[in-house]
Amino acid sequence: MNIPSHWQLCMSNIIAEYMVNQFLETIGQPTRPTLALPNTSIPLSAVCEADQIALGLNEIGTNEAREKALKERFPVEKDEELVCEPTLLLDQTGVIIAWHLPGVLSEEFQVDCVRNLEFLFPDISRSITSSRSWRTQEDLFTESQIRGAIELPPAWYQKGQVVRQILVHHVEQILTLIALQAPAQAGALKNAILSATLMVMDPDIYASGRETFLKVAGSTQDEDMQQIIPEWPTVYLVVLVIANWVTPFHGDLSFQVQWLDLLATIGGDPDLHIELENLGVRLAYSPGTVVGLSREVLQHGVLASVLDQAFLAYHMRDNVQEGVGVHRCDWVKQGELPILLQRFALSMTN
């Protein structure tokens, strides 16, 4: 199933192909005799960012992975160290449960992200409530002019049935985002780069997300959906924008255990860390860090930042994929990853 060339998601696919071939070259398993070169349709700024992220991915690919066990499922070696280098976390069977890429997003990337999200800031504080929901609980947000959380889903599904549940508030935000991106498509490009990063981390999740959008586009008659999907630049189904929030330890039992969330930090304290409570591990969470993790397996939390900070959190939705008949992904083991990436690289050249 090919992505239409006018979709923003097509750029994610093109960048992903470049990053995958770079990664395979670095680990000595290339699929082509010549060096990986970026497609000429990729803007130079995006090539630079992709190269920067690839450096972190490649460092993991060429170094011995850091193996950690899961509590209650495997024996755990308690370890309270702060991990500051690119790291891959595995369980004892070799299954990848987290990627850690500290500081891989450039300062320019982060500044552009803030600029592209500025239209949300006047309304983002409205998300804060006095309810007991930990996602919008007022005392979890630090004192700042910009604070709150907004979820941007292109579609919403309930009880496994495809339904028209695009909230008016969300439609306004998404359509406004599209309008603001139109001149330079800068926001879409940033999301496409992060989406392409997932391709290297877990090709199966990337492929299932891509298939989901293609199937939703082919089945919906909703005019809003038909307008939104071509402009949606990531294979993830939900993008959560969070500003100046203390993240309590949490997981998500409604989340497929084998899926990876993607988290990106924009600004904040240079010495901040994300703690994986059930592993006893702290990962550096400095500005520009990207983390991919299974949020059902790994209970994680982040302390308050003194400096203004935003997070971009990318999620999948099981009921969305189930509603359009997309297969569920399986675990990816470290030893299987090169094979999966080679298949993707070859499929892009055929």
Q: What's the maximum distance between 2 C-alpha atoms anywhere in the chain?
A: 60
Count how many Cα atoms sit within 13 Å of the Cα of residue 62 in the half-sphere of its side chain: 13
SS3 at position 250 = strand
CATH of the domain at 147: 2.60.120.10
Q: Is residue 67 part of a domain?
A: no
What mean pLDDT is reported for the chain? 78
Residue 177's pLDDT is 47
CB of 83 within 8 A of CB of 282? Answer: yes
For residue 27, the SS3 value is coil
- Note whether residue 50 is domain-resident: no
Packing angle, helices 9-26 and 44-62, rounded to 10: 40
User: Has residue 26 been placed in a domain?
Assistant: no
Pick from 251, 253, 263: nearest CA to 291: 263
Of 243, 230, 213, give the one whose Cα is nearest residue 316: 213
Instruction: Give whole-number Cα distances, 47 to 44, 52, 165, 185, 231, in Å.
Output: 5, 9, 37, 15, 21
Number of domains comprising the chain: 1
Mean pLDDT per block of 10 residues along the chain (350 residues) reads 87 94 88 87 92 85 47 42 86 88 93 82 74 68 80 51 35 44 58 93 92 86 78 87 78 66 92 86 92 81 84 84 81 90 81
* φ, ψ at 16 (rounded to 5°): -60, -40
Q: How far apart are CA 274 and CA 54, in angstroms?
A: 22
**pLDDT score recorded for residue 167:** 33
Return the sign of the alpha-carbon dihedral for residues 139, 84, 340, 200. Answer: positive
Q: What is the DSSP letter of 129?
A: B
Nearest to 83 by CA among 61, 95, 107, 67: 67
Residue type, position 198, single letter = L
Structural domain contains residue 66: no
For residue 183, count CB atoms less than 10 angstroms from its CB and return exposed for 0-12, middle for 13-18, buried for 19 or more: exposed
Please check whether residue 242 lies inside any domain of the structure: yes
Distance, in Å, from the CA atom of 131 to the CA atom of 120, rounded to the nearest integer, reads 22
CA distance 207 to 259: 12
Domain of 261 in residue numbering reads as 107-348
In a domain, 136, yes or no: yes
Query: How far is 234 from 305, CA to CA, in rounded Å?
Result: 27
Residue 306: DSSP 8-state: S
Does residue 210 form part of some domain?
A: yes
- Under 8 Å CB-to-CB from 347, ≥6 apart: which residues? none
Residues 6+ apart with CB under 8 A from 24: 30, 31, 36, 338, 341, 342, 345
Query: Cα(317)–Cα(138) distance, rounded to whole angstroms?
Result: 26
Is 34 part of a structural domain of the chain? no
